[in-house]
């Protein structure tokens, strides 16, 4: 067994998960052992308890408890090998590539495909990205997320340095994301903003699709434990009588389920959103109910249409645009809309 060590996070090692940093420095450590040491408080960062998913920053000090020697760890039963990405999934994820260079890959994530794995999720973008190496040694890294049922632009970085730069840009609101959605009813005013804070509902899962968020009025944020401020811009582009509208959405903050919770809170849930809109209801013209009925798909109608960012290597402004998924294309065709009807920047008058 080794002795207790304290290691300072150096340049180039910041903004990465604790478990990934540990595996780089101690390759023989299994994920289960890392999580157990975190739960028991044996691994600490700047003296505090942490989770395996805690992100490290340059200058922080990590306390490492005595570790078994590599040979002892290897003597334990070997973990099952990671499944190979099937030929069908390889085609699916490679066909989803919208744009790439030596540093970044932009995908049009299919609806229904989770971005990351969980206890019961084995097929996800993070795993399938093994098929997106395209000649590089490193597997592309996720730099942000989309909900499982949301489609559209998803960026992956092809190196650690680019991942750090893009993650920082997103955190500091230096990127721009525009979503398209179909919502029940017609939001008024047609152009506006929503500033309800969000707090996780009790009794729902700790992360991912199990979560449900509750909106909190801005005046109540400071006295609501766990509430986080959230800000969304919306623009109503086209409508079908009073029943439904095509809206553009721009999340200024990036909270879990922000767009879905915000639109439901103002009485215009996104079509197909059972979690926030009441999946069994049809909208009868009063602005409520998350299904339109008839031939309109019951799938979620939320799509990350475009993302604009400064390229961390070339420093050029890049905009990536994703075409609609099939179920939303069908809805557009049914309602007589075409993708080219929307302005490139529907929020120009709000800038």
At CA 320, angle to CA 270 and CA 129, rounded to 5?
A: 85
Measured between alpha carbons, how far is 315 from 75 in angstroms, rounded to an integer?
48
- Please give the distance of CA 312 from its chain centroid, rounded to a whole number: 20
Torsion of CA 111, 112, 115, 120, to 10 degrees: 180
The residue assigned the tokens 């109608």 is: 301
Measured between alpha carbons, how far is 261 from 230 in angstroms, rounded to an integer?
10
| SS3 labels along 87-139 | HHHHHHHHHCEEEECCCEEEEEECCCCCCCCECCECCCHHHHHHHHCCCCCCC
Pair of tokens at residue 237 = 């582009």
The residue assigned the tokens 């707090």 is: 199
- 340 an active-site residue? no
Pair of tokens at residue 100 = 């790439």
Considering only CA atoms, give the Rg of the chain.
Answer: 22
Measured between alpha carbons, how far is 210 from 197 in angstroms, rounded to an integer?
19
Adjacent-strand bridge partners of 107 = 97, 154
Pair of tokens at residue 137 = 């040694």
Examine residue 189 and say whether the peptide bond preceding it is cis (omega within 30 degrees of 0). Answer: yes
By DSSP bridging, strand 104-109 and strand 97-100 are antiparallel
Catalytic pick among 147, 149, 286, 344: 147
Q: How far is CA 212 from CA 75, 255, 266, 349, in A?
A: 43, 11, 17, 32
Catalytically active residues are 147
């Amino acid at each position: 067994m080794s002795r207790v060590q304290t290691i300072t996070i150096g340049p180039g090692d910041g903004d990465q998960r604790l478990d990934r940093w540990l595996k780089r420095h101690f390759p023989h450590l299994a994920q289960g052992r890392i999580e157990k040491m975190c739960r028991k408080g044996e691994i600490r960062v700047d003296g505090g308890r942490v989770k395996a998913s805690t992100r490290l920053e340059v200058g922080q000090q990590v306390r490492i408890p005595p570790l078994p020697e590599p040979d002892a760890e290897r003597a334990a039963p070997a973990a099952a090998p990671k499944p190979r990405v099937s030929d069908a999934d390889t085609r699916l994820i490679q066909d989803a590539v919208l744009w790439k260079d030596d540093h970044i890959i932009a995908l049009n994530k299919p609806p229904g495909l989770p971005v990351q794995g969980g206890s019961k999720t084995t097929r996800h973008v993070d795993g399938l990205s093994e098929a997106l190496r395209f000649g590089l040694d490193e597997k592309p890294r996720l730099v942000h997320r989309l909900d499982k049922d949301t489609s559209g632009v998803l960026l992956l970085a092809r190196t650690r340095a680019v991942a750090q730069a893009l993650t920082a840009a997103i955190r500091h609101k230096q990127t721009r994301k525009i979503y398209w959605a179909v919502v029940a009813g017609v939001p008024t005013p047609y152009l506006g903003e929503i500033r309800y804070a969000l707090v996780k509902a009790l009794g729902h899962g700790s992360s991912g699709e199990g979560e449900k968020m509750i909106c909190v009025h801005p005046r109540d944020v400071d006295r609501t434990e766990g509430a986080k401020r959230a800000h969304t811009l919306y623009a109503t582009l086209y409508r079908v009588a009073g029943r439904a509208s095509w809206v553009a959405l721009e999340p200024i903050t990036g909270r879990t389920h922000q767009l879905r919770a915000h639109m439901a809170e103002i009485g215009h849930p996104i079509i197909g959103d059972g979690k926030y809109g009441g999946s069994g209801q049809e909208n009868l013209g009063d602005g409520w109910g998350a299904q339109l009925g008839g031939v309109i798909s019951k799938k979620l109608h939320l799509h990350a249409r475009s993302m604009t960012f400064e390229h961390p290597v070339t420093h050029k402004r890049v905009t990536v645009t994703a075409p609609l998924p099939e179920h939303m294309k069908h809805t557009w065709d049914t309602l007589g809309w075409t993708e080219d009807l929307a302005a490139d920047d529907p929020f120009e008058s709000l800038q």
